[in-house]
Amino acid sequence: MEIITQNDYFIVKRMAPGVFAAIAKPGTGAWSNAGFVDLGTELLVFDAFNTPVAAEELRKQAEKLTGKKVKYLVNSHYHGDHVFGNQVFEDLPIISTELTREWIKDKNVIGDVDVEFEETQKYLDNLILQIESEQDEIIKQSLSNQYLEMQVLLKQIPSMKLTLPSITFENKLVISGTERHVELYCFGGGHSPSDTFLYVPKEKAAFMGDIVTDNLHLPIFHPEEFLTTLQSTKTKEIDVLLPGHGDIGSNEKVKTMIDYVTMLKEAARGAIAAEVESEDFVSSFVIPEEFKEWKGMQGIKRNLRTVYDFYAKDVEKTRTQSI
């Protein structure tokens, strides 16, 4: 895919006419991918990176490349690496689901700057210890990348302010321009309590947020909603997509995510049915070949625990109901 331009934080690629990906360079303060769509007379930006400096560059580059102004920002979900740059777009309508807005408001509070600064510094000190003692090379690399990202964030803390979405929707929102329109969809959560993806029908292109990532054990919030959301993308004809982390690809990446979540679900349910305890399940788990090289700060273990607990609760519920 053609590289249009690049800078300290991200690489811009043209996914389709009028549809651009801003792919994060690791360890620079962008941390996750963003994208922008030329609606005709103005632009729509999808996600705002982990820091205002990276977001500022995004707004600048999008406007410079197209000669048009940004009119809207969309937040795919509440995680900081997608919304901490929101303040750069505070003069514009910022769009998310109602639930994502609530989670940004509750979870991303920036309190007293000195305290935040001190706590982040402590977190970074602790991270160094973790990196030093980590035996698994892949996890070590993921932790080191997080360290670099958090260092950029640390410097930005004094100038950061929580900037909330101002327009919310529930399941679907269509934004029309003179050249093309975009559709925002939310079928629940999966990776977070509420995940939105963006579809450009005219170009058969999509920005997936973190429901699709590249070779990464990204946190799972709700395995069943995750599968529903991923399956729902099949009703759209997608030729090219941008994952929340990693490079552009086809909807093969959706299939890989479905395989991953299904594999975790089946393994956890099998273990629960065989009355294997959670910790035994996690420690004895053999990662299937196709997911062995996947990165992530906690590897596959966190997701094994989450998915096990999720289905264990289901079994618990059925037991109590039958008593």
- State the residues that interact with Zn ion by CB under 5 A: 79, 210
Q: Closest separation between CB of residue 141 and Zn ion, Å? A: 19
Q: Closest separation between CB of residue 79 and Zn ion, Å? A: 3
Q: Closest separation between CB of residue 107 and Zn ion, Å? A: 12
Q: Closest separation between CB of residue 210 and Zn ion, Å? A: 4
Q: Which residue, 16 or 164, is less far from Zn ion as judged by CB?
A: 164
- Which value, to the nearest 10 degrees, does the dihedral of the CA atoms of residues 138, 15, 34, 37 take? -170
Q: Which residue, 187 or 281, is less far from Zn ion as judged by CB?
A: 187
257 neighbors 212 (Cβ within 8 angstroms): yes
Q: Which residue, 18 or 190, is less far from Zn ion as judged by CB?
A: 190
Q: Closest separation between CB of residue 219 and Zn ion, Å? A: 7
Q: Which residue, 65 or 164, is less far from Zn ion as judged by CB?
A: 164
Place of tokens 């996947």: 294
- What is the Cα–Cα distance from 129 to 147, expressed in whole angstroms? 11
Q: Which residue, 210 or 225, is less far from Zn ion as judged by CB?
A: 210
Q: Which residue, 39 or 211, is less far from Zn ion as judged by CB?
A: 211
The residue among 203, 298, 208 whose CA lies nearest residue 249 is 208
Q: Which residue, 79 or 222, is less far from Zn ion as judged by CB?
A: 79
Q: Count CB atoms within 10 A of the CB of residue 62.
A: 23
Q: Closest separation between CB of residue 74 and Zn ion, Å? A: 14
The residue number whose beta carbon is nearest to Zn ion equals: 79
Q: Closest separation between CB of residue 80 and Zn ion, Å? A: 9
156 neighbors 53 (Cβ within 8 angstroms): yes
Q: Which residue, 89 or 103, is less far from Zn ion as judged by CB?
A: 103
Q: Closest separation between CB of residue 2 and Zn ion, Å? A: 27
